[in-house]
Structure 1
């Protein structure tokens, strides 16, 4: 029996292959530098199949990269449960645990790379972290100016990710998780809780 010629037809595993290839490419090159044709080549499928499964490049990006299970309400409770004096550390620990979940790191790196170049992913990422987590933390604590506090907290998280995981600054990549949580926790505590 001879192997069929040409690109793989649309079977059940085709969508998964497209998603895997898109995640790898977005993670390595960022949003702007990845084309749908490049994803099709990497997945070894006809480019028309990309349009069969996904409406656009943005749709493919959101389904391949942002498809990380983040339970915002559970994260919010983890951050709020406990003494307010340690809220920043709990927020840092929650973020780090989400970051280290299987498959999450690659997805987040792709999001951050895309956020540097494109307003859409930047807006989605910042809005999610700000609105669904940090604004609610500040509101539940009854503190003033939740939007500004949340933006500062998001900036701190994005800064540590950029410096540690994208720029790979040696002094940060060598830190143990407990050291990251302690340092980032102090910054988050200041932004979210302190006057």
Structure 2
């Protein structure tokens, strides 16, 4: 009678080393950073969420700071694609399209990278730069250049302030009923104000 084949001990759900481990850490980092911010997130918590040993964070990223940079600061959006999409259609409806596009994207992610950035802005000096660069330079700065309105830099800043404020209220502070309002309710309520920042008078 042959001896029973001995099975290897269970890995308790741990992932094998390799590219899948790196990808799992990035995905877990985005979740944990969005929930707790840079200061609140720990390497152990991120590794646990990914199902790997905490030593893998240092192995793949050299520590929490580099992991944060790759998972959060390198925003998973293509600004040129966003601008091209926003500019399709009548300029008089641009404010509504902007609100719809950003809220819809953020809703799919549950706030996602945006929430991670906002919760980390006081703890990581590169966060403010990343937010400013994305919103005012790569997205709304380009939009203003296409519609040729006066005072484009101020208008781009004002639109960014509206979107960031809306994001903070909906995904970070979670004010109700705004946090659970449907997208079209927000488009109808916030879109006209964004439109004024884009093309309306900025004088009193």
TM-score computed with the length of structure 2 as normaliser: 0.80
Provide closer, same or farther for how the CA distance between residues 179 and 11 of structure 1 changes in structure 2, counting only shifts above 3 A.
same
* Structure 2 unaligned blocks of 5 or more: 1-6
| 1:77-156 equivalences in 2 (<5 Å) | 77-101=84-108, 103=109, 105-156=111-162
| Distance in 2 separating the partners of 1:186 and 1:34 | 37
* Structure 1 unaligned blocks of 5 or more: none
Provide closer, same or farther for how the CA distance between residues 91 and 19 of structure 1 changes in structure 2, counting only shifts above 3 A.
same
Summarize deviations over 1:107-134 as a string: whole Å, max 9, x none.
Answer: 3222221225433122202211111111
Checking the alignment, whether the CA contact within 8 Å between 1:9 and 1:46 is kept in structure 2 is no
Cα deviation for residue 13 of structure 1 reads: 2.7
| Distance in 2 separating the partners of 1:53 and 1:74 | 30
| 1:5-16 equivalences in 2 (<5 Å) | 10-16=17-23
How many pairs does the alignment contain?
Answer: 194
Which among 175, 183, 197 is matched to residue 191 of structure 1? Answer: 197
| Distance in 2 separating the partners of 1:182 and 1:40 | 41
| Distance in 1 separating the partners of 2:144 and 2:99 | 15
Of 157-166 and 40-49, deviating more is: 40-49
Provide closer, same or farther for how the CA distance between residues 182 and 119 of structure 1 changes in structure 2, counting only shifts above 3 A.
farther
* Residues 1:166 and 2:172 aligned together: yes
Radius of gyration: which is bigger? Answer: 2
Summarize deviations over 1:174-195 as a string: whole Å, max 9, x none.
Answer: 4221110122211211112112
TM-score computed with the length of structure 1 as normaliser: 0.83
Provide closer, same or farther for how the CA distance between residues 117 and 192 of structure 1 changes in structure 2, counting only shifts above 3 A.
farther
Summarize deviations over 1:52-98 as a string: whole Å, max 9, x none.
Answer: 21144333123323566423222212222222221111111221232
CA RMSD after TM alignment: 2.6
Summarize deviations over 1:151-194 as a string: whole Å, max 9, x none.
Answer: 11111111111112222211312422111012221121111211
Checking the alignment, whether the CA contact within 8 Å between 2:104 and 2:183 is kept in structure 1 is no
